[in-house]
């Protein structure tokens, strides 16, 4: 199986180093993940705010240089990534097709962070995935916005679960306004947590989009392309295909 990359800004897997045991984490998540966002760790984001929690969780790591693979997640648009200050030139969308096990195995060789839906994280495949990411030092984020994950699928894998509650929207009134931000309480539970850890936060973050994240020494010209990415989402989806 060979890998075709559809972006001139992608580097080879060999150029990605995984020397640190943890990835940079936003301060908003420090209370619920006091040990940090660890490599080889599975984090399940659950509930109605699962997507926002997941993007906020990994945004800092991608902004400072890590690479993100979004697997079978067409519903996450480039606009959503920009709202969380995630640089699009470090994000690749991947479709596993009919061979999720082998495609995911290849993905884990080249990315620091991988996001997958709950439907791709079950039973024997989930156990195989967990073993692979620990060997490769990849951080895996599983999105479950409909409670598809069952306890017997994850209990033996040492997962951390992040769940949003007490959700309150800002900017909308009785028939007026528009949604600007979502305030919520994020709770973290896990095998090593004797009690839930909680933190109140705003998603997307209050600071908003900072275009500085979209420029570095290798891609000074990327800013002009990003203007078109937000405007034409389908053309701005970079895809990694198993050929």
* CATH code: domain of residue 147: 3.40.50.300
Q: For residue range 8-33, list pLDDT tens digits in order.
A: 444 433 334 455 788 999 989 999 99
Q: So what's the pLDDT on residue 214? A: 37
Local structure of 106: helix, strand or coil: helix
**Residue 212 falls inside a structural domain:** no
Pairwise CA distance, residues 128 & 243, whole Å: 22
Q: So what's the pLDDT on residue 144? A: 87
Q: For residue range 97-148, list pLDDT tens digits in order.
A: 888 888 998 999 999 999 999 888 888 888 888 888 989 999 999 998 875 5
Q: So what's the pLDDT on residue 195? A: 82
Please name the residue ranges forming H helices in the chain. 50-63, 78-83, 100-107, 123-136, 151-154, 222-231
Q: So what's the pLDDT on residue 120? A: 83
Q: Are 199 and 29 in contact (CB under 8 A)?
A: yes
**Residue 188 falls inside a structural domain:** no
For 32, the domain range is: 19-161+223-232
Q: So what's the pLDDT on residue 234? A: 41
Q: Is the pLDDT of residue 238 over 60?
A: no
In the structure, what pLDDT confidence band is assigned to residue 149 with cuts at 50, 70 and 90? low
Residues of the chain by 3-state class (helix, strand, coil), percent to 5: 30, 30, 40
Q: Is the pLDDT of residue 205 over 50?
A: yes
Terminal alpha carbon distance of the chain: 6
**Residue 168 falls inside a structural domain:** no
Local structure of 196: helix, strand or coil: coil
**Residue 61 falls inside a structural domain:** yes
Q: For residue range 53-96, list pLDDT tens digits in order.
A: 999 999 999 999 999 999 999 889 999 999 999 999 999 999 99
Tally the domains of the chain. Answer: 1
Pairwise CA distance, residues 38 & 133, whole Å: 11
**Residue 96 falls inside a structural domain:** yes
Pairwise CA distance, residues 243 & 4, whole Å: 7
Percent of the chain with pLDDT over 70: 70
**Residue 86 falls inside a structural domain:** yes
**Residue 138 falls inside a structural domain:** yes
**Residue 180 falls inside a structural domain:** no
Q: So what's the pLDDT on residue 220? A: 43
């Amino acid at each position: 199986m060979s890998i075709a990359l559809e972006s001139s800004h992608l580097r080879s897997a060999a150029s990605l180093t995984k020397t640190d045991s943890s990835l940079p984490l936003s301060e908003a998540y420090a209370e619920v993940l006091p040990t940090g966002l660890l490599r080889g760790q599975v984090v399940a984001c659950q509930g109605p705010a699962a997507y926002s929690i997941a993007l906020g969780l990994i945004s800092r790591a991608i902004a400072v240089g890590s690479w993100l693979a979004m697997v079978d997640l067409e519903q996450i648009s480039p606009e959503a990534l920009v709202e969380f200050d995630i640089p699009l030139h470090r994000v690749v969308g991947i479709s596993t097709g009919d061979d999720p096990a082998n495609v995911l195995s290849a993905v884990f060789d080249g990315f620091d962070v991988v996001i997958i839906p709950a439907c791709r994280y079950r039973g024997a495949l989930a156990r195989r995935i967990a073993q692979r990411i620990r060997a490769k030092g990849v951080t895996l984020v599983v999105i479950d916005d409909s409670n598809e994950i069952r306890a017997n699928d994850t209990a033996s894998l040492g997962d951390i679960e992040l769940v949003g509650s007490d959700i309150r929207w800002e900017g909308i009134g009785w028939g007026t306004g528009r949604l600007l931000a979502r305030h919520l309480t994020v709770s973290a539970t896990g095998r090593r947590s004797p009690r839930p850890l909680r933190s109140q936060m705003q998603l997307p973050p209050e600071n908003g989009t900072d275009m500085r994240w979209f420029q570095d020494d290798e891609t000074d010209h990327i800013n002009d392309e990003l203007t078109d990415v937000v405007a034409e989402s389908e053309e701005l989806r970079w895809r990694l295909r198993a050929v």
